[in-house]
Structure 1
Amino acid sequence: MSEIIQNIMDTVDKKGIQSNCKKILKKCSMKSAKDTGLITELAIWLYVYDYKREAVSVCDLFKNESFDGNYTLWDNIDHAWCLKARILREQGDLNESKQIIEFVNQYRKPELYKNGVDWFLNTLDINIQSNLEENCKAGAKSWRLLKLELAIAYREAGKYPV
Structure 2
Amino acid sequence: MNEQLTNVVLSLSSLSNKRIESLSKKVLKKMSFSSSKDLSNLEELCCWLYIYGYVIELKKFYSIIFSLSFCGNYDIWTPIECMLSLIYYITSKDKNTQNEAKIALEKIMQAETDKANIIKRCDGFLLKEFEDKVREYTILGKKTDLRNWLRYEMQELLLIYALGGSEKYPYEKIESRVEEIKKILKEM
Q: Looking at both structures, which has the greater relative contact order when contacts are Cα pairs under 8 Å and sequence separation is at least 6?
A: 1
Residue 34 (structure 2) pairs with residue 31 (structure 1)? yes
Q: Aligned runs of 1:66-77 on 2, under 5 Å?
A: 66-77=69-80
Aligned partner (choices 94, 100, 105) of residue 101 of structure 1: 105
Which structure 1 residue ranges, 5 or more long, are not aligned? none
Shift in CA distance, 50/34, structure 1 to aligned 2, threshold 3 Å: same
Name the CA distance, whole Å, in 2 between partners of 1:45 and 1:110: 31
Tell me the secondary structure at the aligned position of residue 106 of structure 1.
Answer: coil
Q: Aligned runs of 1:8-157 on 2, under 5 Å?
A: 8=12, 10-92=13-95, 93-108=97-112, 109-113=114-118, 114=120, 117-120=124-127, 122-157=128-163
Name the CA distance, whole Å, in 2 between partners of 1:75 and 1:6: 25
2:89–2:158: 8 Å Cα contact kept in structure 1?
A: yes
Tell me the secondary structure at the aligned position of residue 90 of structure 1.
Answer: coil
Query: How high is the TM-score relative to the length of structure 2?
Result: 0.74
Residue 159 of structure 1 and its aligned partner are, at CA, apart by: 5.7
- Quote the RMSD (CA, aligned, Å): 2.2
Tell me the secondary structure at the aligned position of residue 117 of structure 1.
Answer: coil
Give deviations 1:34-79, integer Å, cap 9, x for gaps: 1111111111111111111211223432233222101121121122
Query: Structure 1 stretches (4+) deviating beyond 3 angstroms?
Result: 159-162
Give deviations 1:62-102, integer Å, cap 9, x for gaps: 23322210112112112212222222223322243123313
Query: How high is the TM-score relative to the length of structure 1?
Result: 0.85
2:134–2:150: 8 Å Cα contact kept in structure 1?
A: yes
- Alignment length, in residue pairs? 160
Name the CA distance, whole Å, in 2 between partners of 1:143 and 1:73: 20
Give deviations 1:116-137, integer Å, cap 9, x for gaps: 82430x2112222322333321
How many percent of aligned residue pairs carry the same amino acid?
24
Shift in CA distance, 68/30, structure 1 to aligned 2, threshold 3 Å: same
Residue 144 of structure 1 and its aligned partner are, at CA, apart by: 0.7
2:81–2:108: 8 Å Cα contact kept in structure 1?
A: yes
